[in-house]
Amino acid sequence: MKPRIIKHRFLSRLRLKESWIIFFLLGIIMMNYPFLHIFNKSITLEGIPLLFVYIIGGWAVSILVIFLFTHSIKTESDDDTGSGTR
Amino acid sequence: MIGLGTVITAVILYAMLHFLVALYAYDRYRKGRSIVSNSFVYALSITVYCTTWTYYGSVGRAATSGLDFITIYLGPSLTAFTWWFLLRKIIRITKENNITSIADFISSRYGKSQFLGALITIIAVLGIIPYIALQLKAVATTFSLICHHPAFLIPASLRDSFVANNSGLLFAIFISSFSILFGARTIATKERHEGLVAALAFESIVKLLAFLVVGAYVTFIHFDGFGDIFSRMASRHPQLFDHLTTIAGIGETSYADWATNLFLAMGSIMLLPRQFQIMVIENSSESHIKDAMWRFPAYLFAINLFVIPLAFAGILLSGSNSGADFFVLTIPMNANHPWLALLAFLGGFSAAAGMVIAESVAASTMVLNHLLMPLVLKLKITVFSKLLLTLKRISIFGIVFLGFAYYNIIGQTYTLVNIGLISFSAVAQMAPALIGAMYWRRGNQYGAIAGISIGFSIWAYTLLIPSFIMSGWWHSDLLEKGLFGLNILRPTQLFGLTDLGIYSNALFWSMFFNIGSYLLFSILKEQNETEREQCGKFIDPFKSDEQQDAWETKRLSKPVTIMEFVNLMENFIGEANAHAAISEYLVEHEIDEKGMVSEFELPSLKRYVEKTLAGSVGAAAAKAIVESYLSDIGSQMESFYDAFRSVRSSLEESREALYVRLKSSEIMNKTQDLRLIIHELLELLATEFSFDLIVVRLFDEEKRLTVCCAIDAKGNSINQPDIMPEDDRFISDLLISRRPQFANDTRNLMQHQNLLATPVDQYTAFAHIPIVGEREPAGVLSVFSTSIVGLFTEELLNLLISLAGQLALAVELVDEREAKEKEKAQKDAALLKNAAVAQEMELAKQIQLSLLPESPPNLPGVQIAFLSVAAEHVGGDYYDFFVRDERIVDAVIADVSGHNVGAALIMVETRSVLRAQVNISNSPGTILANLNDLLYDDLTRAELFITMFYIKYDTISQWLTYSSAGHNTPLLYRSSDGSCQLLDAEGLIIGVKSGVLFEEKSILLDPGDILLLYTDGLTETSNSKGEMYGLERLSALLIDLHEEPLQNMIDLIYRDMISFAENFNLSDDVSMVAIRMERSDMDQQD
């Protein structure tokens, strides 16, 4: 019961236009200076460069977030802002 | 080992597979069972973004400058966050307005400007030609690599064969034919290119698979996974490893380049003509966006996963990063895996083919609609639909071969990555205008043109020219010395901005001036009418049409028929499409019963025609086509005269309309005088709308429309004719339809006869509005203008209709009130008259009563009493006494039929005549006969008659002589035996016949006898049961009461009768005369 409620609440927040814009801006900020500067170091993790891990990891997370976003549109079923099949 | 034949066969087979996939998809589409219309194919087709620049270039760039290649894919991935709002809005706008390309999109928004469309087309074409060149170069280079590599068994003689040397040309021919076949089948509206999209999706799968297979092979088979490659690279080339896995050492410069690349890529995914074509024009459902939003980034992620490992592997295997652009191909070849290399080649081939196909189709649409179309229209060529298709095909061919030419002339020298970024920077110039188009209401044409052209100029100066110089194609010292030798104008360090990469420098300055001019000009200049109209469609595309256009503000100066519009469309989109389009329109809109399009409908029809044409030729050209057609037939769009002069708020009525409504209701409530109301209302209309003549005609009782009030603009009264409805065909139509009849330009009227109330020769615009409320039309309000063409907008007419409706209510109210007052007055008059009559009757009654004897005659030997009660004011009963001498007395009782004034008058006459006769004769019979003869004529004329009983009594001899003219038989009480007997004599009623004789009888009476004369009112009075009082009751009563005093006796008889009638109203006059015989003195003397 509980995780489902949390999931539902989370998804319903994602439906807001503001959430999309926040994540969009967050993505731009996190993939730019100065965030990049934090990871821009000659360090490797298990032999793989830190910056590469950060970028690939961050990218994967952003795709996951979009996936969740689109999922929230689905749960919203067919309201007006939803599928405009024409 | 594979020979050249195998390679060529593989390529040809692969190319044929392309055709098959496209044909299959096209066939399915035509049968209505699309395989393309789903979110999977949509997402795959968007990845046409990944060209050979991705396929080969990413590895090349990763091997030379490191991680920053990833920005090109990270950017679009971030943009995908906005798609649900941004892309969906663009798609909605595009579908609503039949937009054909990005140039069309932007120019449509900014007033369908042909110039803007052409400008964007030129930028886009200039921007993408190097990019197409890049694809051709990639295919040609990789093919030549295969031909010259020992892994393929190709004889040296064949290495310089035609095919090997001209692979770029052959590829260009293949690609352009494919694009023409599937991208330019027809010029029809609203058609998506499903075959083309299917081929793109297929290519996307091939290029991803090829890249993943090569990447996985190298990473996991040739090497031992990611960690292995990275650690070997770190130990073998530690400096290079550091350089490639971090962003350039010290300073923020490379962070700036990183950001530049990221933003360029974010914009390009939306702005590149092919991306717009695939994502927007070829989109079949908005819901596909939803899945594409994460599938597309996931695809990018997957295709980039092995880029770094491949780059490092290439460096490790070849020892350096030279030739890194083709590591994807050379690694398998050098590892002696020709099949793998062939797969890699086909992957690159796919990437190149997809890009060139999509880009050439998108660009050809733009070239056709924005560059060629204006020329075609200028030249006034008439056979369009075939010509357009040919031109489109030529455009595709032309674009691909421009790319080919570019590749041959300058493209040989420059590396792949740079060409792509130059294109990105060019299309980025459209970003401010595009975003502004959808989110900034004030953004206008001037701003867009200024921004784009200045941005483009700076792009050309800071990127294009330097790229020419750097490629060595153009020798100049511009880069070092700047324009005019001004150091500050060095293209790559413009305005002294050093330490910034060439792309950052170009992007910063071009965007700075682009956005700056866009904002500045948008604020300085006003939008024109078309822009304002388009603006709403772009900013609020999710609003319905009804909400957007409250009123038409434009009209066609000369009406155009539906057929004329259809013919126009046929020229461009063919007969079938034109008819389909117009019938769709007719179904959606109410067209009146005559099949005529109303004046207010015409602008909407014109817009629809424009929109339909826009689907084929773009909005700017469609606007030009329709407008030039209209001007050819002498019609044009002109503004309705704005009767509501203030700036209207888009959806509500203007302030003027509200003011007029307010004032008019004030007028209606102020007074009840209809004429005053109408006069003030007309004055209000005259001052507010400057009508030159306003007439109100109301129906009178004969159904004539009589002028109630007619004034001119200054409020002076004007003479206007009263008319019958059939005197004016507009009026008669109006009364039938109850709709306003109007003309905005009387010069367009065909017939001029039968227009009594419409002086069309004096006025240019007029409107008749029915004054109709809840009942039948009460009249007509007519307004005229001498000079203003196009005065009557739908809004103004609606206002007038509502005023006329109010007026009708006022008329109805006044009518009702008048009717009530009239009724009341009639009643009052009747009452008054009655009262007067009653008074007269009372007077008559008094007179009549005065004619009856006041008191009985006093005569010895006889005692007389009488009583008379009239049923009405006046009665027809009459009695009288004539004392002839001391011993003889005559008595008469009569009843004139009826008891009205006539009867009373006859009674008066009878009395006069009788009084005269009494002196002439003393025989009752003779008196009655004479009376009859004298009154006969008068009675016949008055249709009345008289019953009468006449007696003559000699008090001495006690003989009673009597005659009767049909009167009730009197009762005689005989004192001798206490009985009652009836006195009867023959005689006809007076007035029935002249010359009648009356019997005269005599009887000897005794003292104590009582004679009771009466009228029929007494005996014929009936009670509620219908019983009559009757003779028996009377005679019994007479016997009972014979000893009572005489007056007392008849009073009692009367009271008895009243109580018998139980307060029943007397229906007849009642009169009684009682005579009691007494012993006379003379008798006593005897």
Instruction: Assess B224–A contact: CB distance below 8 Å, yes or no.
Output: no
pLDDT at B429: 93
- Highest-confidence range of A37-41, B377-381, B519-523, B1082-1086, by mean pLDDT? B519-523
**pTM exceeds cut of 0.95:** no
In sequence order, the β-bridge partners of residue A48 are A45
On whether residue A67 sits in a domain, the answer given is yes
Q: For residues B433 and B925, give the distance between their C-alpha atoms in angstroms, rounded to a whole number.
A: 131
Contact B1069, B870 (CB under 8 A): yes
On whether residue B532 sits in a domain, the answer given is no
On whether residue B117 sits in a domain, the answer given is no
Same-domain status, B660 and B619: no
Q: Which of B150-164, B176-190, B477-491 has the lowest mean pLDDT?
A: B150-164
Nearest CA in chain B to A27: B78
Q: First CA to last CA across chain A, in angstroms? A: 37
Same-domain status, B623 and B661: no
Distance of CA B104 to the CA centre of its chain: 30
Per-residue pLDDT tens digits for B105-143: 998 888 888 899 999 999 999 888 888 888 888 888 888
Q: For residues B383 and B583, give the distance between their C-alpha atoms in angstroms, rounded to a whole number.
A: 23
Indicate the residue among B639, B668, B692 that finishes a domain. Answer: B639
Residue B658 has pLDDT above 50, yes or no: yes
Q: Which residue has the higher pLDDT, B1066 or B763?
A: B763
Nearest CA in chain A to B77: A63
Same-domain status, B613 and B673: no
Partners of B294 on chain A (C-beta within 8 Å) are 63, 66-67, 69-70
- Mean per-residue pLDDT for B1017-1041? 84
Instruction: Say what angle helices B431-439 and B253-271 make with each other, to 10 degrees.
Output: 60
Report helix, strand or coil for B744: coil
- Mean per-residue pLDDT for B83-93? 89
Nearest CA in chain A to B66: A52
pLDDT at B996: 86
Contacts 24+ apart (CB under 8 A), B229-236: B229/B309, B229/B312, B229/B313, B229/B316, B230/A44, B230/A47, B230/A48, B230/A49, B230/B309, B230/B312, B231/A47, B232/B312, B232/B316, B233/B312, B233/B315, B233/B316, B234/A44, B234/A47, B236/B316
Indicate the residue among B639, B667, B683 that finishes a domain. Answer: B639
Q: Give the minimum alpha-carbon distance from B709 to chain A in angstroms, rounded to a whole number.
A: 55
pLDDT at B417: 56
Same-domain status, B219 and B303: yes
SS (H, E, C) B1000-1018: CEEEECCCCCEEEEECHHH
**Given A24, A70, A74, which is nearest B82 (Cβ)?**
A24
pLDDT at A85: 37
Cβ within 8 Å, pair B74-A55: yes
Same-domain status, B898 and B779: no
Query: How many residue pairs bridge chain A and chain B with CB atoms within 8 Å of each other?
Result: 114
pLDDT at B266: 92
Across the beta sheet with B1010-1014, what order do the strands follow? B862-869, B1070-1077, B1010-1014, B971-974, B979-982
Residue B547 has pLDDT above 50, yes or no: no
Q: Which of B444-448, B482-486, B876-880 has the lowest mean pLDDT?
A: B482-486
Contact B554, B639 (CB under 8 A): yes
Q: For residues B599 and B797, give the distance between their C-alpha atoms in angstroms, rounded to a whole number.
A: 12
pLDDT at B650: 37
Residue B645 has pLDDT above 50, yes or no: no
Instruction: Assess A35–B contact: CB distance below 8 Å, yes or no.
Output: no
Instruction: Assess A33–B contact: CB distance below 8 Å, yes or no.
Output: yes
Q: For residues B484 and B471, give the distance between their C-alpha atoms in angstroms, rounded to a whole number.
A: 22
- Highest-confidence range of A2-16, B18-32, B371-385, B608-622, by mean pLDDT? B18-32
| pLDDT above 90 coverage of chain B, percent | 14
Partners of A74 on chain B (C-beta within 8 Å) are 290
Q: Give the minimum alpha-carbon distance from A85 to chain B in angstroms, rounded to a whole number.
A: 5
Q: Which of B358-362, B432-436, B664-668 has the lowest mean pLDDT?
A: B664-668
On whether residue A21 sits in a domain, the answer given is yes
Half-sphere exposure of B372 (CA within 13 A, CB side): 21
Q: Which residue has the higher pLDDT, B597 or B125?
A: B125
- Mean per-residue pLDDT for B85-97? 88
SS (H, E, C) B945-988: CEEEEEEEEECCCCEEEEEEEECCCCEEEECCCCEEEECCCCCC
Partners of A56 on chain B (C-beta within 8 Å) are 305
Instruction: Assess A3–B contact: CB distance below 8 Å, yes or no.
Output: no
Sequence-distant (≥ 6) Cβ neighbours of residue B750 within 8 angstroms: none
* Number of independent structural domains in chain A: 1
On whether residue A84 sits in a domain, the answer given is no
Partners of B246 on chain A (C-beta within 8 Å) are 40-42, 49, 51
Residue B583 has pLDDT above 70, yes or no: yes
Same-domain status, B783 and B863: no
Same-domain status, B633 and B665: no
**Given A46, A52, A62, which is nearest B77 (Cβ)?**
A62
Instruction: Assess A75–B contact: CB distance below 8 Å, yes or no.
Output: no
pLDDT at B812: 80
On whether residue A85 sits in a domain, the answer given is no
Cβ within 8 Å, pair A42-B85: no
Cβ within 8 Å, pair B77-A63: yes
The H-or-E segment that residue B1055 falls in is helix B1046-1061
Instruction: Assess A51–B contact: CB distance below 8 Å, yes or no.
Output: yes
Of all residues in chain B, what percent are helix, strand and coil, respectively (each to 5)? 60, 10, 25
| pLDDT above 70 coverage of chain B, percent | 90
Q: Which residue range forms the structural domain that includes residue A14?
A: 9-75
Same-domain status, B705 and B812: yes
Q: Which residue has the higher pLDDT, B220 or B750?
A: B220
The H-or-E segment that residue A11 falls in is helix A2-14
Instruction: Assess B499–A contact: CB distance below 8 Å, yes or no.
Output: no
Cβ within 8 Å, pair A70-B291: yes
Nearest to B364 by CA among B154, B176, B531, B503: B176
On whether residue B126 sits in a domain, the answer given is no
- Mean per-residue pLDDT for A38-57? 85
Residue type, B1064: F
Half-sphere exposure of B544 (CA within 13 A, CB side): 3
On whether residue B645 sits in a domain, the answer given is no
Per-residue pLDDT tens digits for B283-342: 888 888 888 999 999 999 999 999 999 999 999 888 887 888 888 888 988 888 888 988
**CATH for B724:** 3.30.450.40
Among positive and negative, which fits the CA dihedral B699, B701, B703, B709? negative
pLDDT at B648: 41
On whether residue A4 sits in a domain, the answer given is no
- Mean per-residue pLDDT for B672-685? 81
Q: Give the minimum alpha-carbon distance from A54 to chain B in angstroms, rounded to a whole number.
A: 11
pLDDT at B1: 57
Same-domain status, B620 and B679: no
On whether residue B93 sits in a domain, the answer given is no
Q: Give the minimum alpha-carbon distance from A55 to chain B in angstroms, rounded to a whole number.
A: 9
Instruction: Assess B253–A contact: CB distance below 8 Å, yes or no.
Output: no
Q: For residues B905 and B913, give the distance between their C-alpha atoms in angstroms, rounded to a whole number.
A: 12
Per-residue pLDDT tens digits for B955-1014: 888 899 999 998 888 989 988 888 888 888 888 888 888 888 889 999 988 888 999 999
Q: Give the minimum alpha-carbon distance from A1 to chain B in angstroms, rounded to a whole number.
A: 28
**Given B88, B231, B256, which is nearest A47 (Cβ)?**
B231
* Number of independent structural domains in chain B: 4
Residue B50 has pLDDT above 50, yes or no: yes
Provide the b/e sequence for A7-33 (b: ≥16 CB within 10 Å). eeeebeebbeeebbeebbeebbebbbb
Nearest CA in chain B to A74: B290
Q: Give the minimum alpha-carbon distance from A10 to chain B in angstroms, rounded to a whole number.
A: 17
- Mean per-residue pLDDT for B422-443? 89
- Mean per-residue pLDDT for B658-663? 74
The band of B382, judged by pLDDT with boundaries at 50, 70 and 90, is low
Q: Which of B97-101, B246-250, B791-795, B934-938 has the lowest mean pLDDT?
A: B246-250
Per-residue pLDDT tens digits for B393-405: 899 999 999 988 8
On whether residue A48 sits in a domain, the answer given is yes
Residue B882 has pLDDT above 50, yes or no: yes
Residue B605 has pLDDT above 60, yes or no: yes
Q: Which residue range forms the structural domain that includes residue B898?
A: 854-1085
**Given A42, A59, A70, which is nearest B294 (Cβ)?**
A70
On whether residue A68 sits in a domain, the answer given is yes
Mean pLDDT of chain B: 82
Same-domain status, B896 and B926: yes
Q: Give the minimum alpha-carbon distance from B69 to chain A in angstroms, rounded to a whole number.
A: 12
pLDDT at B414: 56
* Max CA separation in chain A (angstroms): 52
Sequence-distant (≥ 6) Cβ neighbours of residue B671 within 8 angstroms: B677
pLDDT at B216: 93
On whether residue A82 sits in a domain, the answer given is no
- Mean per-residue pLDDT for B488-499? 77
Instruction: Assess B439–A contact: CB distance below 8 Å, yes or no.
Output: no
Provide the phi-psi class of B142: left if phi over 0, else alpha when psi is between -120 and 50, else beta. Answer: alpha
Task: Find tokens 């350096």 and name the residue.
Answer: B320
Instruction: Assess A32–B contact: CB distance below 8 Å, yes or no.
Output: yes
On whether residue B437 sits in a domain, the answer given is no
Nearest CA in chain B to A71: B290
Same-domain status, B602 and B700: no
Same-domain status, B47 and B170: yes
Running DSSP on this structure, what letter comes out for residue B723?
B
Instruction: Assess B258–A contact: CB distance below 8 Å, yes or no.
Output: yes
- Report H helices in B407-440: 416-428, 431-439
On whether residue B290 sits in a domain, the answer given is no
Q: Is the peptide bond before A34 cis (omega within 30 degrees of 0)?
A: yes
pLDDT at B795: 76
Q: For an interface test with B, which of A63, A69, A71, A81 has the most B Cβ atoms less than 10 Å from its Cβ?
A: A63
DSSP per position, B850-894: HHS-SS---BTTEEEEEEEE-SSSS--EEEEEEE-SSSEEEEEEE
Indicate the residue among B385, B414, B443 that finishes a domain. Answer: B414
**CATH for B994:** 3.60.40.10
| pLDDT above 70 coverage of chain A, percent | 67
Residue A47 has pLDDT above 60, yes or no: yes
Instruction: Assess A40–B contact: CB distance below 8 Å, yes or no.
Output: yes
Q: Give the minimum alpha-carbon distance from B247 to chain A in angstroms, rounded to a whole number.
A: 6
On whether residue B1033 sits in a domain, the answer given is yes
> What is the complex's ipTM, to 2 decimals?
0.84
